[in-house]
Amino acid sequence: MCPCRTCLALCLCMATILLLGPCQWVGTAAATTTASQAVTVTDTASSDREALLCIKSYLSHRNGSGGALATWGSNNGSLDVCRWQGVRCKRRQDSGGGGALRVVTGLSLEGEGVAGQIPPCISNLTYLTRIHLPFNSLGGALPPEIGRLRRLRYVNLSSNALTGAIPTELASCSALRVVSLKKNNLSGGIPAALFKNCYSIQKVDLRMNNLDGPIPDLLPYHSSTDISSSLQLLGLTQNNLSGEIPSSVGNLSSLVYFLAAQNLLTGSIPGSLASLASIQVIDLTYNNLSGTVPSSIFNLSSLIYLGLGDNGFVGELPATMGNRLPNIQGLILSANNFYGEIPKSIANATNLVDIYMQENSLGGVIPSLGTLRSLQTLFLYNNKKLEAGDDWAFLSSLANCPQLGFLVLDSNRLQGPLPSSVANLSQNLKEFVLSSNLITGAIPSGISDLANLSVLYLDNNMLSGHIPASIGKLRSMFALNLSKNRLSGEIPASIGDNWAQLTELYLQENSLSGAIPAGLAGCRNLLALNLSSNAFSGPIPEGLFGRLDQLNWYLDLSKNQLAGSIPDEFSNMINLESLNISSNSISGKIPSTLGSCVLLQALRLEANSLDGQIPSSLATLKGIKELDFSRNNLSGKIPEFLEQFDSLQYLNLSFNNLDGPIPTQGVVFGNATSRLFLQGNPKLCAETIAVLGLPLCRAQNPSARNRFLVRFLAVLLPCVVAVSLLSVLFLKRWSRKPRPFHESSEESFKMVTYSDLSMATNGFSPGSLIGSGQSSSVYRGSLPSKTDDVHTMIAVKVFKLGQSSSSKSFLAECRALRNTRHRNLVKVITACSTCDPFGNEFKALVLEYVPNGTLADHLHAKYPGYGDGARLSLGDRIGIAADVASVLEYLHVWSAPPMAHCDIKPSNILLDDDNVAHVGDFGLARFLQHASSACAGGHRNATSSVGAAGSVGYIPPEYGMGSRISTEGDVYSYGIVLLEMLTGKSPTDESFHDGFTLHKYVEEALPRIGEVLDADLSEEVADLTSRTRARNTEVHKCIFQLLNLGLLCSQEAPNDRPSIQYVYAEIVQVKEHFGSCSVKET
């Protein structure tokens, strides 16, 4: 099970709660406005005009344009302030007897991109009753002067970036009815006076801030300011509030919503809460509350949602609780210490949608819940003691719950065979988990009727019989785990036929037999496949793993009866981290193509019949941690490249026919006694001192060695001289011939002419232009195939040869692309070096067309096609970060020779239709002499944005001081890009000047990620995290980890930056963690 499945908890009603926008409260809070009338400027108080212009001077639009504020003032707007956007007016009688005068009573600029801070001069709008400015970018502290607005009834500043404390002076606005400050970065305590002076207050929403201290006592100063009959919503969720819940909350007779989840509250629930006759939602999840829950709480018949999960409550649940909660929809009691049976009366709470009772100590038979027609989620896992009963009546009863989507019952005492009635469960069921129980018998074939099932976990039971062939009908299957049972027979051929979405397949530790079906190749998106500890026989199917090239978690075929050789096509799994085919009857040689699996961390081939030498191509596996080739027939010497494997923790080469001296350097060989196993190789020896009981190598006769060397040189030197002379003559003759550039490291490129490219791009027309830089322009085109009528979309990068650097850029890019192969690099199709019809030199690269624009387009919406509808989600951004890190790891570590890209920036990162990143523009790339060193390479950088340094904003600071090109420079650029993806701010943003950088902007804000998170991303994150604290915690943990990684990469000193291998590992970890939580959330 995914550790994040509790991220689904608390979803009921919370969507409704979070959707409680200000509109629901406007009727009681908003000031009455009048219809617009044609008036002159003299109809409005001049002081209001001056106040509005003062306010405008403190504000701006976050994208630099005027936005709504452009209408404020005589230059671009009306002289009548009541016609200014967002300004509301009302006619009042002039106290001086001068007739009716219109005054400003409201400011309403929701989601208008307003930045800056609210100035003290807002207090000069003396008739102001309404401030409605949510979903903007306002920062700074609320001015204390706001307390002078004695007529103020409504304040909504939610979803901004306000900081500092809530001013106590706000309580002076005694007419206040609505205060909504949620989703800011406010700190300090909650002013008690707010509840004591504001006698008509109806809504106080302070959720998602950094407030601390206790919940203030809600008793009024005197009876005339008693809020007990007015307050309807008290929102305190996701702060750092501590202490106990004050008993005075129970006096709030009109309270409908009490939201105090995700804080640090302690103590018990006060019994006074049972007096809340109007309460509909109580959310106290994710605190440190303890003790027993007052039974009277379960008498609150108006409750729709009761959230008590993830605390330390104890005791039994009242037997009649279901009878006393007729309106309950969400019952969240998970992760406490409740014991006893689940009350049967829950079946009488017929409005229930979500039941979360997992991770307690509940026992007994699960009651029948078939009366809950609206039930969508039933989480009872990890109670250890729950039972199914003799006839599994509870499961059969769930067939009457047509909305059921998630049924998770693992880690209990459910026993006996699964009933055939499982086929009658809801067609909406997506996740069905029964792992780690005592279930016996066969898997019911009717389980295939659950057409929308995407996760099926039946592992760690005692199931027997065959896997039903009908299971192949489950076309939405995402993860299937049948491991650790007693299943037999063959894998049904139907698995894989229609399972394109399957990412995880676990069948290990059963008694399955027969051949591994080639049909598994249909599972093209598999990330993990485990068939170990079965009785599979025959060869590994030819062509199967050539198609499963997405495997990257692990492939485990160990402990079977497989024969034949290791297929060369394993090399297609370039992202695979663990490969285990040990304990089979595999023969032949270790394929040299395994060296292509450069991300391997574990390679286990032990207990087979492999022979030959350990291939030198495995030297590319520099990240390997575990290597086991023991109990084979391998011969030859132990490769010296193993000394260079700094990550290697375990090396077992025992019981082979290896010979010669063992290496003496490296992590493993330097600590041979604990990590190295070489026994059973009688021809191995140690050169200096005895290691692992090996004998010393015999010294070779010096005179014999010298005679051999003389004879060898006598033959070799004349041959070398002859070959050198012939090579010089050939090169001179060949260099005189004109030739097009069309060679590749693997195959010849297709020949294209200037005419071909001109025709493909409509004569390099402006309509085909998709980008232009200082040294090149890029055109979109369509190139016909030479074998059929199919046209291929291409990108043609034409170099501006009038620029001094363009020829060098062309050659650099050709060299780089000819020596690199990676799925996240822009693929080069061919190149053209010729003359145009006017005799001018023409150089171009023909590249794969990546259709979805650049990362810069999406982050900053430069073009209409990349507007709000195409904003990148958090998952997209994490995936892009992983793609780019994968490319850099390949260039820095696995490329031969290593390479620095030197120009990582969003405009050089292209996105395909699935938002997979492809890194392009190798015009500044440099090959290095050493993999990662500040002194790597022989090219000093230029200090401009055109030369080897890169682009302004992304150039590492050491390049500006003349340091040589290095992989550390790429890491710096990557860190800046990562920060830009999360904040939405370019490093060249106008707000960064005088030493204040994007790095410092993020560094000063952490850990308050809300201050820097991109506004569009903030909305998505708020939606993702609104349902449960578990989801909130995990998502914020991912973002926090990414921001910290961006800061680490963009450290000023190169030596303080991490290696790209560390960066890639961290990104992949975040990606997998976020992905696993997302699966459970859906």
Binding-site annotation: residue ranges: 797
| Residue 750 CA neighbour count, 13 Å, CB half | 13
Q: Give CA separation, 988 vs 60, 977, 1036, in Å.
A: 18, 12, 26
Active site residue 903: yes
User: In terms of DSSP bridges, do strands 769-772 and 210-213 run parallel, antiparallel, or are they unpaired?
Assistant: unpaired
Give every CB contact of residue 658 below 8 A, 6+ residues apart in sequence. 634, 635, 636, 637, 638, 678, 681, 683, 684
Q: Are 324 and 296 in contact (CB under 8 A)?
A: no
Compute the distance between CA of residue 872 and CA of residue 878 in angstroms, rounded to an integer. 10
Q: Are 36 and 83 in contact (CB under 8 A)?
A: yes
Closest C-alpha among 209, 178, 210 to residue 194: 178
Closest C-alpha among 208, 212, 261, 215 to residue 240: 212
Name the amino acid, one letter, at 1036.
H
Q: Are 525 and 500 in contact (CB under 8 A)?
A: yes
Positive or negative, the CA dihedral 1068, 1069, 1071, 1076 is positive
Provide the Cα torsion 506, 511, 513, 516; round to 10°: 10
Counted residue by residue, the chain has a size of 1082
Binding-site positions for ATP: 797
Q: Which of 354, 857, 903, 1014 is catalytic?
A: 903
Give every CB contact of residue 860 below 8 A, 6+ residues apart in sequence. 984, 986
φ, ψ for residue 255, nearest 5 deg: -65, 125
Provide the Cα torsion 313, 319, 321, 323; round to 10°: 180
Provide the Cα torsion 891, 892, 895, 899; round to 10°: 70
Q: Which H/E stretch holds residue 782?
A: strand 776-784
User: In terms of DSSP bridges, do strands 59-61 and 114-117 run parallel, antiparallel, or are they unpaired?
Assistant: antiparallel
Q: Are 461 and 437 in contact (CB under 8 A)?
A: yes
**Token pair for 800:** 């501006």
Q: Are 877 and 821 in contact (CB under 8 A)?
A: no
Most distant CA atoms of the chain, gap in Å: 124
Compute the distance between CA of residue 584 and CA of residue 469 in angstroms, rounded to an integer. 27
Q: Are 890 and 856 in contact (CB under 8 A)?
A: no
Closest C-alpha among 898, 903, 995, 896 to residue 941: 903
Q: Are 159 and 208 in contact (CB under 8 A)?
A: no
Q: Are 425 and 404 in contact (CB under 8 A)?
A: yes
The number of angstroms, rounded, from the C-alpha of 525 to the middle of its chain's C-alpha atoms is 18
Q: Give CA separation, 658 vs 565, 611, 638, 1034, in Å.
A: 20, 10, 7, 49
Give every CB contact of residue 540 below 8 A, 6+ residues apart in sequence. 516, 557, 562, 564, 566, 567, 581, 586
Q: Are 250 and 276 in contact (CB under 8 A)?
A: yes
Q: Are 633 and 656 in contact (CB under 8 A)?
A: yes
Q: Are 450 and 423 in contact (CB under 8 A)?
A: yes
Name the amino acid, one letter, at 1080.
K
Name the amino acid, one letter, at 480.
L
Q: Tokens 């490329």: give the residue.
A: 895
Name the amino acid, one letter, at 529.
L
Q: Are 925 and 902 in contact (CB under 8 A)?
A: yes
Q: Which positions are catalytic?
A: 903
